[in-house]
Amino acid sequence: MRLQGVMAMAAWLVASSAWAGPVVREAAGANAAAIQAAVDAFRADLGGGNNGNTAGSQFGGRREINWDGGGAGANVTLDPSPMTRFANRGATFLTPGSGFEISGQPSPLLVELNPAYAGLFAAFSAPRIFTPLDSNVMTSVFHIPGNTAVPAAVTGFGAVFTNVDVANATRLRFYTPDGTLLYERAVPVATGDATLSFLGVSFNAGELVGRVEIVTGNVAMGLNEKTGANVVAMDDFIYGEPVATEGLTIAPSSTRFIRTGQFDLVLGIGPWAAPLVSGRIVYDGLDVTATLLGCLRPGTLTGGGVTFRCPLPGALLSPGDHVLQVELGFADASRRRTAVRWTVLGNTEP
């Protein structure tokens, strides 16, 4: 039975197409109408509705942050880094700068940071916008909504930007749960002031995002715009429902290797409180659960937990990028999910 499992898994690995890449939704223009269709398409890509402040990881749906709490009368809101104000939506923000600001009274749209910003920015969902302070770089890390101690991953992330007018300066970088760069793309530009740009990237072949690095323009907020300089602020954040990655490990982790090498596929599962009731393994978007089960050899993790190992010859992997995702369900309705991306290098030998 174990040999049959290995051979069946080998057939899947050989037949599978390489990683297909992300689904990108982007637009830029003079007003909210110019990007609305791209925003709506991205929401549809993520699927389901907006789960708002609902605690815990939900089955399906997404989370959104529009910064507009308190409305037009709200004062400027300052937060340190890490910013946990939206922990109940499964996201925490970090910056190497001094913190973050959500715009507000007495000078809407960040004009209090620099009088020259009057007329420079616009809101997608009025009236408030968002920026890191003393840096143009920030990171969004994901966790279980309402519990910052449990890391999580999402299937996509998108954001609205305002005043993007220098090509390739404003960017999103997506990282796998094990920290490997998964994808990077520049936010589209628009000519003029008070413009809006949107970039949303989702992954539908099993890829997961553990964190997103956001680069806004090429100078920090507060500095003047001059030739070649671009100050950029942000509005709505939209991202997939965070699902826990803690206690679930895939080896090899995201890496590059030569396909003639041998490797063991190992799934490590840390201790859990409720019984395991379901599991799913996806390889390049294909469900290989039933095939792989016949190959797995059980073991025990030192310190608690179990492992499942399937020995496979690397030569069976086709050259290119491949994604393996594992998701487990437990009797208490909790889930764990993680994924890796392998870059397989082909070679020939005499």
Confidence class for position 227, pLDDT limits 50, 70, 90:
confident
DSSP string, 27-63: EEESSTHHHHHHHHHHHHHH-S-B-TT-SS--SS-EE
Predicted confidence (pLDDT) per residue in 50-109, tens digit: 999 999 999 999 999 999 999 989 999 999 999 999 999 999 999 999 999 999 998 889
Q: Any bridge partners for residue 54, and if so which? A: none
Distance of alpha carbon 96 from alpha carbon 130, whole angstroms: 16
Q: How many helices (H) and strands (E) does the chain have?
A: 3, 24
Confidence class for position 44, pLDDT limits 50, 70, 90:
very high
* pLDDT higher than threshold 50 for residue 225: yes
Report the chain's mean pLDDT, rounded to a whole number. Answer: 89
* pLDDT higher than threshold 80 for residue 150: yes
Secondary structure string (H, E, C) spanning 93-110: EECCCCEEEECCECCHHH
DSSP-derived letter for residue 298 is E
Predicted confidence (pLDDT) per residue in 136-145, tens digit: 999 999 999 9
Report strand pairing: 211-215 vs 171-175.
antiparallel
Distance of alpha carbon 220 from alpha carbon 133, whole angstroms: 7
Contact indicator for 175, 153 with CB cutoff of 8 Å: no
* pLDDT higher than threshold 50 for residue 206: yes
Q: Which residues of 21-54 are buried (b: 16+ CB within 10 A; e: fewer)?
A: ebbbbbbbbeebebbeebbebbbebbeeeebeeb
- Find the range with the poorest average confidence among 53-62, 218-227, 315-324: 315-324
DSSP-derived letter for residue 246 is T
* pTM of structure: 0.91
Confidence class for position 117, pLDDT limits 50, 70, 90:
very high
Beta-carbon contacts of 48 under 8 Å, excluding residues fewer than 6 positions away, are 60, 61, 62, 241
Contact indicator for 99, 79 with CB cutoff of 8 Å: yes
Predicted confidence (pLDDT) per residue in 164-181, tens digit: 999 999 999 999 999 999
Q: Domains in the chain, start-ordered, CATH in brackets?
A: 2-17+245-345 (2.60.40.10), 23-242 (2.60.120)
Strand (E) or helix (H) holding 11: helix 2-15
Question: What pLDDT shows up at residue 3?
Answer: 39
